[in-house]
Structure 1
């Protein structure tokens, strides 16, 4: 693994007496492929050895969680749950129990628009198949009979998971990455890192400030032009997660089919191009962003406005392919209408 160091000078003073900086804090950063994307981390430290060890430990934690929660690995703990939980309660690790418990909570908040039992539907749609053949209505209805978060029974007493309907399949793809980011940050803090930014393919958690005292700066991608940024946001002590129909999709007869499936209808989510959620936890923001994309701007924004400390930006696409921006109250977006218009975006809701 290669580490890169960016030097930053930071000095302080008290009254009229200049205080020597000693060893100045610097930013140490690296990147690594994990969880189906590229994960980059930047940490602030006065000690190179401390920074290197903290980064290595954080990446190891994310890799451990990926191995635990991957639906594609037969030897993962999640795959064992999917094989056995219809027959009997399965005792799971504390981490897997927490992420399933949080997922069910988000399902309740979003009225089932986010649902980790979507596995049978995900297996039905041809996201990872060469032949992009749409599933039949009959096949979708059969899969829906094995979907529903209320069929997942948790027992905190023995930390177990049970499926009340046979053939259910949990898929943590909509929340595992956010959970892993949260856990990586916990590792960094435990190693004495006072400030850091973890970015897993655009899902971000930042805490503390850069050595110059400024917040971290992150770009917000244009959902229809990967080479363009809508804007650059500043972040400190919060997570920002974006879910969009441009991440994985396929086209049939000119129609875009997103990799995000509505667990209530069985069909892929349409019309909403992207959802960006800011919250204290990357896991919570991750699951919520997926649920809001399924709900759409009106119902999704109603959910956001009901949650303290949560803000969102929703982009929809009209029949004329025009993009419309919906902004929740409290989401600070350093752009005016003219700047957005240049990027082909209109403002639908603009609250200050």
Structure 2
């Protein structure tokens, strides 16, 4: 999945712990085989290959994941969109970009993007991308989904507690062997190595979207690497978004969506969703949070 997974389990002895971790790794690989758009033999690659040509029958598991992704697109007004990978890459954040793209280039870059062009058939479990050249990708939801499924597998194997951490998108269950709650640190937006708050995580998940590293500056204005799939322009006004919810999949998707939606619309959405919370750091490094968050600055 192009990212690192760290797996922690609480087990009666080390040998059983390593068996559990091997089972977790096998589950992550299974999901990668299904959702990777880089693997030419994956179901996802087959959908993309047949864009504008014909519907593709997929497993119920992938069908349901796509269905949920579209529902998230609907509640976020398209700020989250798995068809974002149809975007032409006109923005470069590797230092090679020397001029601002024209309005025409930006408009053309999103011509094939649009979750409403993904056609699902619930009876045949087929997926059809209406436009030739359209592509779907699970970059903003796949890691969270894999974390949830791996946790589900380990719980079914009677693993009493653990953490699945997919490069910062993580899910937990149970408590540490000592009985203490798992604690996660929220990074300071001005310095990734410093923690500005610690939060106990109980049977819950968390994911963060941030723009700390990749950006370009034109005419004194900063453009970050998280692009709004509706406009083709980089998102403005937010430095980082951390979402808390039961499901890592939902956290993963909403972290990206809220980043793109911006402070007001993002906070408003999260405050309307039950069992979901957010900590948002705006571009002036001011911290905003949803109604259910209490910050503790001492670990």
Provide the residue aligned with 1:249 in structure 2.
214
Provide the residue aligned with 2:294 in structure 1.
332
1:274 is paired with a residue whose SS is: strand
Q: Structure 1 residues 158 and 264 mapped into 2: Cα distance closer, same or farther (>3 Å)?
A: same
2:195 is paired with a residue whose SS is: strand
- Residue 130 of structure 1 deviates from its aligned partner by 6.6
Q: Structure 1 residues 61 and 211 mapped into 2: Cα distance closer, same or farther (>3 Å)?
A: same
Provide the residue aligned with 2:59 in structure 1.
93
Alignment of 1:119-268 (within 5 A): 119-121=85-87, 123-127=89-93, 131-132=96-97, 134-246=100-212, 249-253=214-218, 255-268=221-234
Gaps of 5+ in 2: none
- Residue 156 of structure 1 deviates from its aligned partner by 1.9
Q: Structure 1 residues 74 and 250 mapped into 2: Cα distance closer, same or farther (>3 Å)?
A: farther
Q: Structure 1 residues 56 and 149 mapped into 2: Cα distance closer, same or farther (>3 Å)?
A: same
Larger RCO of the pair (alpha carbons < 8 Å, separation 6+): 2
Aligned equivalents of 1:257, 1:175: Cα separation in 2: 23
1:123 is paired with a residue whose SS is: coil
Aligned equivalents of 1:130, 1:79: Cα separation in 2: 30
Indicate whether 1:291 and 2:240 are aligned.
Answer: no
Aligned equivalents of 1:210, 1:276: Cα separation in 2: 23
TM-score by length of 1: 0.79
Q: Is the 8 A contact 1:121 1:261 kept in 2?
A: no
Q: Is the 8 A contact 1:99 1:176 kept in 2?
A: no
- Residue 255 of structure 1 deviates from its aligned partner by 4.7
Aligned equivalents of 2:190, 2:121: Cα separation in 1: 44
Alignment of 1:69-80 (within 5 A): 69-80=35-46
Give a deviation string over 1:304-340, Cα, whole Å, max 9, x none. 011111111111013xxxx11111111121149xxxx
Aligned equivalents of 2:36, 2:236: Cα separation in 1: 26
- Residue 80 of structure 1 deviates from its aligned partner by 1.8
Aligned equivalents of 1:221, 1:61: Cα separation in 2: 29
Q: Is the 8 A contact 1:85 1:161 kept in 2?
A: no
1:37 is paired with a residue whose SS is: coil
Provide the residue aligned with 2:248 in structure 1.
282
Gaps of 5+ in 1: 1-34, 337-352
Q: Structure 1 residues 79 and 258 mapped into 2: Cα distance closer, same or farther (>3 Å)?
A: farther
Q: Structure 1 residues 126 and 69 mapped into 2: Cα distance closer, same or farther (>3 Å)?
A: farther
- Residue 181 of structure 1 deviates from its aligned partner by 0.6
Alignment of 1:28-39 (within 5 A): 35-39=1-5
- Residue 269 of structure 1 deviates from its aligned partner by 0.9
Which of these two proteins has the greater Rg computed from alpha carbons?
A: 1
Aligned equivalents of 1:139, 1:172: Cα separation in 2: 25
Give a deviation string over 1:132-164, Cα, whole Å, max 9, x none. 255432222223221111111111212111122
1:65 is paired with a residue whose SS is: helix
Aligned equivalents of 2:271, 2:75: Cα separation in 1: 12
- Residue 273 of structure 1 deviates from its aligned partner by 0.5
Higher alpha-carbon deviation: 130-139 or 159-168 = 130-139
1:46 to 9, 12, 15: 12
Indicate whether 1:58 and 2:20 are aligned.
Answer: no
Provide the residue aligned with 1:310 in structure 2.
276
